[in-house]
Amino acid sequence: MDTKKIAVLVGSLRKDSFTRKVAHSMIELAPPGLDMEIVEIRDLPLYNQDDETEHPSAAFTEFRERIGQADGVLFCTPEYNRSVPGALKNAIDVGSRPYGKAAFAGKPCAVVSVSPGALGGFGANHHLRQMLPFLDMPCMPAPEAYVGMVAGKYDGDRLVDDSSRAFFQTFIDTFAAWVERHAK
């Protein structure tokens, strides 16, 4: 199996984000066949089609290039108001344009949602999954990852919950096989 480059998009911008902690746990548990790296979204200007000129912003161009170079994408999102945060939706809008040249097109993906509550970001997970067919992204159907009660799973940045670690390992191993099967 060739090494596959995975862009990890973290929907939370918070300094001590649990979503970012989960993303780092997934990166640490990734099998050798995945080279995973967080692609930052915090500095992307709000998408405005009027700015889509012959020379789009450097931030747009760099983001699109980084997604374009990836073999797959792992979306890690918290839940805001039963949906994805605006920053993640903006990143998806930036990467999906210009029309017909989406950086996301054809890239296999998976979704992990995170919440301090019991439902684990179920609404955000499924709202994000509704966008993926339009982006032409084959999304891993199972296992689904809803990380609820996340605050109790970490001591600082260290994952201390053994059952979560075992689930994360199963998830990331399955994602590696999904990417291997679907990457172009």
Rounded mean pLDDT, 166-175: 98
Total domains present in the chain = 1
Q: Read off the CATH number of the domain in which 87 is found.
A: 3.40.50.360
Query: Per DSSP, which regions of 39-175 are E strands?
Result: 72-78, 109-114, 145-147, 154-155, 158-159
Domain span at residue 168? 4-182
Q: Is 69 helix (H, G, I), strand (E, B) or coil?
A: helix
pTM of the model: 0.96
The amino acid at residue 46 is L
- Note the pLDDT tens digit of each residue in 120-152: 999 999 999 999 999 999 999 999 999 999 999
Alpha-carbon torsion (87, 91, 93, 94), positive or negative:
positive
What share of the chain has pLDDT > 90, as a percent? 91
- Note the pLDDT tens digit of each residue in 42-97: 999 999 988 887 888 999 999 999 999 999 999 999 999 999 999 999 999 999 99
Paired tokens of 123: 């609404």
pLDDT at 54: 80
Rounded mean pLDDT, 31-44: 97
pLDDT at 53: 78
Which stretch of DSSP H or E encloses residue 35?
strand 34-38
Whether residue 79 contacts residue 116, with contact meaning beta carbons closer than 8 Å, is answered with no
pLDDT at 24: 98
Q: Rg of the chain's alpha carbons, rounded to an integer? A: 16
Whether residue 139 contacts residue 126, with contact meaning beta carbons closer than 8 Å, is answered with no
pLDDT at 1: 62
pLDDT at 51: 85
Of 41, 11, 10, the C-alpha closest to 24 is: 10
Tokens 């609820």 — which residue?
Answer: 148
pLDDT at 55: 81
Rounded mean pLDDT, 106-123: 96
Residues forming a β-bridge with 75: 9, 111
DSSP annotation of 100: T
